[in-house]
Amino acid sequence: MTRATPPLDVLIVEDEPLIAMDIQFMIEDAGHTVLNTAASLREVTALPEAEVPDVAFVDIQLAEGSSGLDVNTLIQERWPNTIIVFVTANPKKIPEDFAGAHGVIAKPFSSHGFTAALQYLQEGVSEPPPVSPQPGSFVASPRFAETWKG
Amino acid sequence: MEQQDDWRLTEALPHQLGRGDPFAAAVRATRMPMIVTDPAQDDNPIVFANAAFQRLTGYSREELIGRNCRILQGPKTSRESVNKVRAAVMAGDDVSVDLLNYRKDGSTFWNALYISPVRDEDGTIRYFFASQMDITSRIDAHSRIARQKDEVEQEVRRRTADLEAALEAQTLLLHEVDHRVKNNMTMIGSILRLQLREMNPEGAGQLRATMQRIDALGTVHRRLYQSEDVTRFDIGAFAATLASDFAQASPGVRILTDLRRAEVSVGHASALGLVVNELLTLMFQRQKDLPAPGEVRVSAHGTPAATVLMLEDRGSRSLLDSDSTGPLSRSLIQRLTAQANATVTFDPIEGGQRVTLTIGREE
């Protein structure tokens, strides 16, 4: 598997437009590219398949009553190499095995916290294992963390 | 009644039950209902019934003699118990059962029945001897208690279900409120960050300070509801999280931690969280002014009297005190520490400075 190199292409799935915009700017400040922003499962389904994200930030509670857990499943089917990170106020809703996703950033996040998580994640994606200490704002799934060992 | 005539019957019985025998007299006169049956005759009929048995069942001696005991059975008599008696009689064993029996007038009574075979010298069963006891009142008390127990248990089950439903509703509500608070705090943070992008540098500094305070509050809330126990808040773990956030914006500054259990009351979590934010802001500002980045140590522990958080920085020569801060920060620290029953002290240490936040335990 070829590793994504920075700048990373990012998909944001978030139903609050202000939060989505905020996340987008923070990602762009860090030098990455936001490919698309979607607010619901339907909007993710409608995205062009050819625009493959390296990383997807996915809220759990989405517009139109849809769930980020279903978006997670869809992304894994459609773009199997995409790194999926939940960004949620409900981290307890995430199954223990993260349902195949790679990590979580809990809301509310601080500017520093989100930036630190982004840095750590980029290292983990592009040149694993990450050299920065794991920030408190980011929790890697057991499976994702496993890939950085040995 | 003709039971007085049973003298004749006992005379008719062979063996030791003859007239004038003191044992026979005792059986006839005892208050315990007793009968004797003869298995040698067809259908094992009653051959003797004492006066107490006649009183208990309402049948006269004539009505009983020659009949099988099943005349006492009725529709509600347990078949299982009757079968148990029959099996014991067939096997020639003793048997003891509680049976619902019927009197001649159709009324019922609970009968503690005991049957044992009487054998002759060869071991052949000659008679069955049966004693009865009316235990209706005992059975009634039993069933009343059992019924009351059932009722109480049902009531307990119903109330427990009510309580569980109420608790579940409350837990759902708590999660919903928690979720909304977190979402709103995220949005407040996002609004401030978006605004910050439009501001000129002078104003931006102040808004950034505001945003950091909001971020600190958000971190308090996040840590609070992530933990299993929402009634305690670990100030050391919180300070370490915040310090690592700050370090993100101050590349090169090392964070060292030494954390023991350092819990404070949840009621003071927000106030103390803001104080820690102000103190760390001071420390990291000093780090920014250094030619080479230094280090910040966060250590925390609890004593029976207080929870103690120590923040140390090394590398800076200037000394901090409560006047090093801006007026808002100063009054935040003063007022919030007072609110949380805490004190802040600034002490020089080798190569730097230590700020100690001591939070008194609540009664």
Residue B210, amino acid: T
At residue B4, the pLDDT reads 46
Please answer yes or no on whether B187 and A18 come within 8 Å at the CB atom: yes
Model confidence over B212-227: pLDDT tens digits? 899 899 888 888 876 6
* Distance in angstroms (rounded) separating the CA atoms of residues B291 and B127: 116
DSSP state of B251: T
At residue A149, the pLDDT reads 72
At residue B19, the pLDDT reads 57
At residue B228, the pLDDT reads 63
Is the Cα torsion angle B55, B59, B62, B66 positive or negative in sign? negative
Determine contact, residues B46/B122, Cβ cutoff 8 Å: no
Domain B3-134 has CATH 2.40.50.140: no
CATH of region B226-360: 3.30.565.10
* Distance in angstroms (rounded) separating the CA atoms of residues B353 and B324: 13
Question: Does the pLDDT of residue B233 top 80, yes or no?
Answer: yes
Question: Measuring CA to CA, how many Å separate B72 from each of A42, A89, B113?
Answer: 79, 75, 12
- pLDDT band at residue A6, thresholds of 50, 70 and 90? confident
Model confidence over B146-159: pLDDT tens digits? 889 999 999 999 99
Determine contact, residues A17/A41, Cβ cutoff 8 Å: no
At residue B320, the pLDDT reads 64
Please answer yes or no on whether A110 and B186 come within 8 Å at the CB atom: no
Nearest neighbour of A110 by CB, restricted to B178, B187, B219: B219
At residue B274, the pLDDT reads 94
The helix (run of H) or strand (run of E) holding residue A36 is strand A33-38
Please state, for a pLDDT cut of 70, what percent of chain B lies above it.
Answer: 90
Whether this prediction's pTM lies above 0.80 is answered by no
Among chain B, residues having any CB pair with chain A shorter than 8 Å are: 175, 178-179, 182-183, 185-187, 189-191, 193-194, 197, 211-212, 215-216, 218-219, 221-222, 226, 240-241, 244-246, 248-249
At residue B3, the pLDDT reads 47
Per-residue tokens: B204: 């931006």
Q: Which of B174, B175, B183 to mutate to test the interface with A (most CBs of A within 10 A)?
A: B183
Please answer yes or no on whether B215 and A108 come within 8 Å at the CB atom: yes
* Distance in angstroms (rounded) separating the CA atoms of residues B81 and B197: 90
Nearest neighbour of B186 by CB, restricted to A89, A112, A136: A89
Question: Does the pLDDT of residue B28 top 90, yes or no?
Answer: no
| Alpha helices in B116-200, H assignment, sequence order | 136-196
The complex's ipTM works out to 0.86
> A43-52, A106-115, B51-60, B156-165: which has the minimum mean pLDDT?
A106-115
Please answer yes or no on whether A16 and B187 come within 8 Å at the CB atom: yes
Per-residue tokens: B347: 């002490």
Nearest neighbour of A108 by CB, restricted to B197, B222, B244: B222
Please state, for a pLDDT cut of 90, what percent of chain A lies above it.
Answer: 62
- pLDDT band at residue B347, thresholds of 50, 70 and 90? confident
At residue B20, the pLDDT reads 64
Model confidence over B293-317: pLDDT tens digits? 788 999 999 998 999 999 998 876 6
Domain boundaries in chain B? 3-134, 226-360
Measured between CA atoms, the residue of chain B closest to residue A133 is B244
**Domains along chain A?**
9-146 (3.40.50.2300)
Name every residue whose Cβ is closer than 8 Å to that of residue B108 and which is 6 or more positions away in sequence. B74, B76, B100, B101, B102, B136
What does pLDDT average to over chain B?
Answer: 85
Nearest neighbour of B248 by CB, restricted to A25, A91, A115: A115
At residue B67, the pLDDT reads 93
State which of A45-49, A128-132, B73-77, B227-231 shows the largest mean pLDDT. Answer: A45-49
